Amino acid sequence: AIMKGALHTDELMHAVVARDTGLRTGRRISHVFALDVPTYPRPLLLTDAAINIYPTLEDKRDIVRNAIDLAHALGIAAPRVAILSALETVYPKIASTIEAAALCKMADRGQIEGAILDGPMA
């Protein structure tokens, strides 16, 4: 895990993505905000609100897998993943609703494991 301090994101990410010395894997890089909300009984993890500006479906699959792996590392055995969009129904003119449904179907078929996925959710 990396925590960003008082430096620009481009400086941090330059070191992270360096081919020879960085932290690259076969997956898309993503980030997570870990939230401790006093009125909520469990930790909340909010992923990729800053790194991936316009992710593809494949990128979103990697982002979900990264978040699941982090949840497992934090001791959350069966994380619940809410895939957010503007609507809670699949709407053909909004790609994020279609991709949310596709990610849920991937989970149903075992292509994404280790969590319970639902979406789209507004």
User: What is the domain-level CATH number for residue 112?
Assistant: 3.40.50.10750
pTM score, whole prediction: 0.87
Residue 57 to residue 96: CA distance in whole angstroms: 9
More confident residue, 77 or 50: 77
Strands (DSSP E) found in the chain: 32-35, 44-47, 80-84, 116-121
Number of domains the chain is built from: 1
Q: Would the pLDDT of 72 be above 90? A: yes
The tens digit of pLDDT for each residue in 91-103 reads: 999 999 999 999 9
Instruction: Establish if 38 belongs to a structural domain.
Output: yes
Q: What whole-number distance in Å separates Cα of residue 85 and Cα of residue 67?
A: 17
Domain extent for 109: 28-121
Best CA proximity match to 89, nearest among 122, 64, 63, 112: 122
80, part of any domain: yes
Residue 59: the pLDDT is: 96
> Closest Cα to residue 35, out of 77, 78, 69, 67?
67
Residue 2 lies in a domain: no
**Domain annotation covers residue 61:** yes
